[in-house]
A = this chain, B = another copy of it.
Amino acid sequence: MSFKLTILGCSSAVPEIDKHPSSQLLNSNENFFLIDCGEGTQLRLKENNINFQRISHVFISHLHGDHFYGLIGLINSMHLLARKKELHIYSHIELKKIINSQLQVSNTVLNYPLFFHEISKDSEEILFENEDISIENILLEHRINCSGFIFREKKFKRKIDKDAIVKYNVPDFYLNNIRSGDDFINLKGEIIKNKQLTKKAKLANSYAYFSDTIYKKSISKKIEEIDLLYHEATFLEKHKNLAEKTGHSTALQAAMIAKKADVKHLLLGHFSKRYKNLDLLKNEAQNVFNNVIIAKSGMHLNFKTLIQNK
Contacts and interface: CB of A to CB of B under 8 A. Distances in A.
Given A65-B72, A107-B143, A42 B17 contact: no
A39 B80 CA distance: 15
A15 B106 contact: no
B77 A14 contact: yes
A105 B63 contact: yes
A14 B107 contact: no
A276 interface: no
Contacts of A15: 42-43, 73, 77
A81 interface: yes
A16 B73 CA distance: 12
A43 B70 CA distance: 13
A64 B94 CA distance: 22
Nearest to A65: B76
Given A65-B102, A101-B98, A17 B46 contact: yes
A40 interface: yes
B69 A73 contact: yes
What range describes how many residues of A lie at the interface?
A: 20 to 34
A13 interface: yes
A77 B64 CA distance: 12
Nearest to A12: B80
A102 B107 contact: no
Contact of A70 (B13, B14, B39, B105): B39
A271 to B, nearest CB: 15
Contact of A47 (B17, B39, B46, B144): B17
Contact of A106 (B17, B72, B101, B144): B144
B106 A102 contact: no
Contacts of A76: 65, 69
A97 interface: yes
Given A65-B102, A69-B73, A94-B101, 6 more contacts: A15-B73, A16-B43, A39-B70, A63-B105, A94-B105, A107-B143
27 contacts: A13-B77, A14-B42, A15-B42, A15-B43, A15-B73, A15-B77, A16-B43, A16-B46, A17-B43, A39-B40, A39-B42, A39-B70, A39-B73, A40-B40, A64-B106, A65-B73, A65-B76, A65-B106, A69-B72, A69-B102, A94-B105, A97-B101, A98-B98, A98-B101, A98-B102, A105-B144, A107-B144
